[in-house]
Chains A and B, each alone.
Chain A
């Protein structure tokens, strides 16, 4: 064992020496050596990037793409050391403030030296927050780290260490489209998560990514190109990552679905549902809602708790009935308006009114979260009144069409009579002209 380490140490020294020699032979001055992008290399990068395909070379190579390098930061800002010294011993000597590779809480401290410094951040990224470290301290990750669990995520687990990109950069691991796979690097790894427990003591599941990828949120984000659609951090937080507490689920969903959350707050379900929205909609694998979820049908979620004959299910059926009636009347009126429009009648006002009726239907679908038929009825009634107006106008347009066509046939008949009469008169005149 000892001899292996000795040989390894000799080899490493040899590679270092060769790299330094190459740099010197190449006549590169550390302060002046710049790559093609104009990035001025420190001696650290010159030596490390010359180490071929080794782990020690990777940081120097990655750092060229790093946002910090763009701002003029160098290796020493995180690691300490002498950036001009070509000799390893001198570069990392005790007098250089060399700190080596930070680990665990040291990583957070290293990043926070700048990112929690308002004065400094104002110079480089004035719009950025400076509370990441304090927020991180509230997270499950930080609490576990403080308890001695070195496997939990720190800054570099999500942002990377030497090739850090802006969050708005599509290649960044924390760009909205990449967040789920970044979190899943640990959370979907069964072996890595083995032994991790939920608050109740159950094994922490590793199917979140799988479920999330089946959700409407994932489809909106990736297929719908809607970067505002939620990914892991939108519900769990990012630096202060923690599962939302049972009482806070509605607040989390309500961040986007504000009106639904407000109606839910008014409902009797608020006192009963342990997991709020999740009870009916699920969490990671949340699917598009449908009217079938309401009532006592096969796809209804109400029957999970309610039984036939109880007041709750009767109320759910009543609400579903109102929504179905409004939906059916809108569809009927739309078909009528389309039919009349296809025949060339001007019905843009009716089309607009149908849009308004559609808004009432959306409002009604929101209102059901209050689980109160009395508050739903006026909205449905408003929608039905609008649709009735559209229907009346559509029927009038149809009657007008019939009138026009009848009128046309009358006019054409009159025109035909005149044309025939003219033809007879012309023939008479021609005959009279030809006769001597």
Chain B
């Protein structure tokens, strides 16, 4: 006697011919080696993005994107809407965890040289997804229209305005005028709930298709051992690996629920464009290293404005990151590339050090 599930599958199979999919699922394996733990980072990032979409859609039901109503609507969500506080806190906390996981995923892929041929496009789509996540963070930060986010956006858009050649255009494009106003909020809202999700959906689809098409990358050292006749164990993706992924997602959900209950995301005071800039204005932690770097660069370096030089430096670093698979020729030949490993460790150390530096400086009121 077939079960309901079997009957449903048979029904679908008769109409869609699922044999190829069944074959793909049965054959899909995940390499088992000393560095396999890093494979989970992609999955957890995807889960958190899904959580963002889900909680974001629920927030949309009550959020009102105008300077007059944005703050009040978020206040209404967290005080009056049933479980609104939980949805908002899950959204805010998982956004931060998502960006942390995306960074961890990027650095693990970088240091394991998973970007090497033939996975250049997977890397490219991944780096672009990270940039999109940062854009999500920047645009979403302003939406509650509170004092801290208002002035942080003001500072952030001024920095964007320092981009050589297109700075002024960029600043006006972001702000929807010369100042941060309700027009800026409308733009950031549109960006946050329509443009970025659309672009992210396309890129995630491409990223996942590429991963499925090419399979999981194996670190170069293990690959060399395999070429020398070594054997690499495989774990079935379904259900062995997927269940491990799901287990991790549950743990993440537990952490997020605890954060929401014990450390609710502060709403702060409503933004007042005429109020003096409050002390301790700083961007979210993922922009803090960049912000702190711009603060320590002298006003003028080699006849150039320090801030412009800093922005140009970050632009070049981003470009370098995008082009890494094409620059690291040794890795693409399967050879060790210690210079790129060192650059990765250096970048990671710099980001951690300057983020900590930024927090310490903010605590000291500098």
Residue positions of A touching B, CB distance < 8 A: 344-346, 348-349, 404-405, 407-408, 411-412, 415-416, 418-419, 422-423, 425-426, 429-430, 433
B299 close to A (CB within 8 Å):
no
- Are B250 and A426 interface neighbours, CB within 8 A? no
Asked whether A412 and B78 contact (CB < 8 A) given A422-B247, A433-B236, the answer is no
Q: B10 an interface residue at 8 Å Cβ cutoff?
A: no
**Distance, CA A55 to CA B120, complexed state (A):** 94
Contact partners of A412 in chain B: CB under 8 A: 254, 257-258
Residues of B within 8 A of A408 (CB): 257-258, 260-262
User: Within B224-253, which residues are at the interface with A (CB < 8 Å)?
Assistant: 235-236, 239-240, 243-244, 246-247, 250-251, 253
11 additional A-B pairs beyond A344-B265, A425-B243, A429-B243, beta carbons within 8 Å, are: A344-B264, A346-B78, A348-B75, A408-B258, A415-B251, A416-B254, A422-B247, A423-B247, A429-B240, A433-B236, A433-B240
Scoring B244, B250, B258 by chain A CB atoms within 10 A of each residue's CB, the highest score goes to B250
**Which residues on B are within 8 Å of A, measured CB to CB?**
75, 78-79, 85-86, 235-236, 239-240, 243-244, 246-247, 250-251, 253-254, 257-258, 260-267, 269
> B78 contacts A411, CB within 8 Å?
no
* Contacts between chains A and B (CB distance < 8 A), count: 62
B243 contacts A422, C-beta separation under 8 Å? yes
Knowing A408-B261, A415-B253, A419-B251 touch, does A344 contact B243 (C-beta < 8 A)?
no
A398 to B261, CA, bound (A): 13
Pick from A346, A405, A426: contact of B267, CB below 8 A.
Answer: A346
A407: chain B residues at CB < 8 Å are 261
B240 touching A346 by the CB < 8 A rule? Answer: no
Judged by DSSP, the binding face of B is helix
User: CB-CB < 8 A to B262: which residues of A?
Assistant: 344, 405, 408
Q: B89's closest neighbor in chain A, by CB?
A: A344
- Measured between beta carbons, the chain B residues less than 8 angstroms from A411 are 254, 257
Least distance between B158 CB and chain A CB atoms (Å):
29
Expressed in whole angstroms, the minimum distance between the Cβ of B337 and any Cβ of chain A is 35
Q: Is the CB of B250 within 8 A of A419?
A: yes
| Chain A contact surface mostly | helix
Residues of A near B239 (CB, < 8 A) are 425, 429
**Closest chain B residue to A417 by CB distance?**
B250
Are A404 and B261 CB-contacts (below 8 A) given A346-B75, A348-B75, A433-B236? yes
Residues of chain B with a CB closer than 8 A to A419's CB = 247, 250-251
Pick the contact of B250 from A348, A404, A422 — CB < 8 Å?
A422
Q: 21 interchain pairs (CB within 8 A)?
A: A344-B263, A346-B78, A346-B85, A348-B75, A348-B269, A404-B85, A407-B261, A408-B262, A411-B254, A411-B257, A412-B257, A415-B254, A416-B254, A422-B243, A425-B239, A426-B240, A426-B243, A429-B239, A429-B240, A430-B240, A433-B236
Counting chain B CB atoms within 10 Å of each CB, the highest count among A346, A418, A423, A425 belongs to: A346
Closest 5 CB pairs of A and B: A344-B264, A408-B261, A422-B247, A415-B254, A404-B261
Q: How far is the CB of B257 from chain A (nearest CB, A)?
A: 5
The closest CB in chain B to the CB of A416 belongs to B254
Complex Cα–Cα for A170 and B239 (A): 84
B246 contact from A345, A346, A422, A429, Cβ within 8 A: A422
Rounded to whole Å, the gap between the CB of A393 and the closest CB of chain B is: 10
Q: Which residue of A lies closest to B78 (CB)?
A: A346
> In the complex, what's the smallest C-beta–C-beta distance from A392 to chain B, in angstroms?
14
CA distance A405 to B262 in the complex (A): 8
B259 → A minimal CB distance (Å): 10
Most buried by B among A344, A407, A412: A344
- A433-B32 Cα distance, complex, nearest whole Å: 13
Q: What B residues does A348 contact at CB under 8 A?
A: 75, 267, 269
CB-contact partner of A426 in B247, B260, B266, under 8 A = B247
Instruction: Establish whether residues B250 and A418, one from each chain, have CB atoms under 8 Å apart when the complex forms.
Output: yes
Q: Nearest Cβ distance between residue B345 and chain A, in whole angstroms?
A: 33
Could you tell me the distance between the alpha carbons of A404 and B267 in the complex, rounded to whole angstroms? 18
Q: A121–B265 Cα gap in the complex (Å)?
A: 64
B86 cross-chain contacts in A, Cβ below 8 A: 404
When distances are taken between beta carbons in the complex, the residues of chain A under 8 Å from B260 are 408
* Residues of chain A within 8 A of B235, CB atoms compared: 433
Given the complex, which residues of B lie within 8 Å of A415, measured CB to CB? 250-251, 253-254, 257
Closest beta carbon of chain B to A339's beta carbon, Å? 14
